[in-house]
């Protein structure tokens, strides 16, 4: 890898802007694992598609991208032309789940001149047919965007199960090169089960029916009971807060719920607001008999159902979410009738939780 590549995003954007590189259309291409020499081509690809507005810096910075690939935290896949231009990119990567055997299938990107080809399908096929068996994956996770249906269709064709909807999780300008775009973009939560790990879970009573219905449609073996136990005296919460500043998102994982949960949650919310967060996501571990108490507290603070998360903590999890401003629901494009019904359920839960918040 060249030593003169940019070392940070600001420098990378300056170089990408100045070089005005153009990829010739109509070239033949092949799909392969990313090599270090491809990293600047990946940066060019992301710049052409997103401008400077993709919220994760390392896709613009070759050294960081190669380091992520070498560490195993990301497995990069490229569509490479005969001139070694990169016209498309996809990856598996370890996301914010508290389970190293969950990989997210994401960053599926193809430059405009090649979107009429099968590049994006070929990238996804390579991931599913070639990569999955070479790394230790139990669950593959995806977040197909809801501003179009292409990625939802690909996920459906490849055996993913939709278990949630993240409302307004991405800034609209990410997909419009910074042009004014009112609506933040929502995503579907999709999971492909490679290896099930049977275990017992506890379901918050408010969502018992919904969760049982989701679990019954997936290749999962679960012993599910209703969460009804009190939080043990003297117990302390274990939380992991991750801020995604470019997208103004807080993702707060509740690895363990203790007696201090409500006060700790209030502190985390206050801190997040001071950082400009507009999307608050809380991930609840469903392996504790008292996890329902955390969900009750969250609902009273205006949080509503987001999704079911198989094996998210090793055990299953539940996403609860709250937004500073709700998106235009008409902008949330959903492929299936089941997902449209789920969105209706979420909208009803929003109203229910708002009424609890004002009591």
Q: Rounded to whole angstroms, how far apart are CA atoms 65 and 53?
A: 17
Contact status, residue 53 vs residue 173, Cβ threshold 8 Å: yes
Structural domains in the chain plus CATH codes: 9-193 (3.40.630.30), 199-358 (3.40.630.30)
Contact status, residue 353 vs residue 303, Cβ threshold 8 Å: yes
Phi/psi for 142 (5° steps) reads -135, 155
| 315 DSSP assignment | S
Provide the percentage of residues in the chain whose pLDDT is more than 70: 96
| 237 DSSP assignment | -
Q: Rounded to whole angstroms, how far apart are CA atoms 159 and 354?
A: 35
pLDDT value of residue 56: 85
Contact status, residue 266 vs residue 303, Cβ threshold 8 Å: no
The closest alpha carbon to 220, from 257, 250, 193, belongs to 193
Contact status, residue 174 vs residue 50, Cβ threshold 8 Å: yes
Per-block mean pLDDT, blocks of 10 residues, the chain (359 long): 81 95 96 97 95 90 95 94 97 92 89 95 92 88 94 93 97 67 87 97 98 98 98 98 94 98 98 97 99 98 98 99 96 97 98 84
List Cα–Cα distances, 148 to 20, 154, 185, 201, 303, in angstroms: 28, 12, 10, 34, 26
| 232 DSSP assignment | P
Grouping H, G, I as helix, E, B as strand and the rest as coil, residue 79 is strand
Q: Which two tokens stand for residue 61?
A: 């910075």
Q: Which two tokens stand for residue 17?
A: 């802007």
Give the number of residues written for the chain. Answer: 359
Q: Which two tokens stand for residue 233?
A: 């005296």
The closest alpha carbon to 35, from 103, 82, 84, 83, belongs to 84
Q: Rounded to whole angstroms, how far apart are CA atoms 32 and 26?
A: 19
pLDDT value of residue 183: 82
| Residue 193 CB burial class (10 angstroms; 0-12, 13-18, ≥19) | middle
Q: How far is CA 77 from the centre of its chain?
A: 18
| Rounded (5°) CA angle 271-272-274 | 65
Q: Rounded to whole angstroms, how far apart are CA atoms 334 and 318?
A: 21
DSSP string, 119-164: HHHHHHHHIIIIIGGGS--SEEEE--BSSSSHHHHHHHHTT-EEEE
Query: How close are the terminal C-alpha atoms of the chain, in Å?
Result: 60
Q: Rounded to whole angstroms, how far apart are CA atoms 225 and 232?
A: 18
- pLDDT, tens digit, 9 for 90 and up, residues 174-183: 776 555 556 8
Q: Rounded to whole angstroms, how far apart are CA atoms 13 and 138?
A: 36
10 Å Cβ neighbour count for 300? 14
């Amino acid at each position: 890898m060249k030593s003169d590549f940019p070392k940070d995003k600001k420098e990378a954007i300056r170089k990408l802007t100045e070089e005005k590189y153009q990829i010739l259309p109509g070239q033949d291409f092949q799909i392969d694992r990313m090599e270090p020499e491809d990293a600047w081509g990946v940066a060019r690809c992301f710049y052409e598609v997103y401008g400077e507005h993709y919220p994760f810096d390392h896709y613009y910075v070759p050294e960081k991208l190669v380091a992520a690939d070498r560490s195993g935290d990301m497995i990069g896949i490229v569509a490479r032309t005969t001139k070694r231009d990169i016209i498309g990119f996809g990856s598996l990567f370890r996301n914010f789940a508290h389970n190293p055997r969950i990989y997210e299938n994401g960053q599926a990107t193809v430059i405009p001149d090649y979107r009429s080809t099968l590049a994006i399908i070929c990238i996804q096929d390579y991931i599913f047919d070639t990569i999955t068996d070479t790394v230790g994956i139990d669950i593959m996770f995806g977040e197909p965007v809801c501003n179009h249906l292409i990625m939802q269709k690909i996920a459906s064709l490849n055996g993913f199960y939709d278990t949630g909807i993240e409302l307004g999780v991405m800034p609209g300008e990410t997909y419009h090169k910074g042009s004014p775009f009112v609506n933040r973009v929502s995503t579907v939560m999709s999971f492909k089960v490679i290896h099930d790990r049977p275990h017992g879970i506890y379901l918050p009573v408010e969502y018992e029916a919904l969760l049982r219905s989701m679990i019954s449609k997936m290749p999962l073996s679960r012993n599910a009971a209703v969460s009804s136990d009190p939080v043990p005296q003297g117990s302390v919460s274990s939380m992991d807060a991750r801020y995604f500043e470019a997208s103004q998102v807080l993702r707060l994982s509740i690895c363990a719920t203790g007696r201090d949960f409500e006060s700790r949650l209030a502190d985390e919310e206050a801190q997040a607001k001071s950082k400009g967060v507009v999307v608050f996501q809380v991930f609840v571990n469903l392996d504790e008999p008292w996890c329902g108490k955390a969900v009750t507290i969250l609902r009273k603070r205006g949080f509503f159902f987001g999704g079911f998360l198989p094996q998210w903590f090793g055990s299953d999890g539940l996403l609860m979410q709250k937004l500073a401003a709700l998106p235009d629901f008409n902008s949330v494009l959903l492929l299936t009738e089941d997902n449209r019904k789920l969105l209706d359920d979420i909208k009803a839960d929003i109203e229910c939780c708002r009424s609890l918040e004002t009591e």
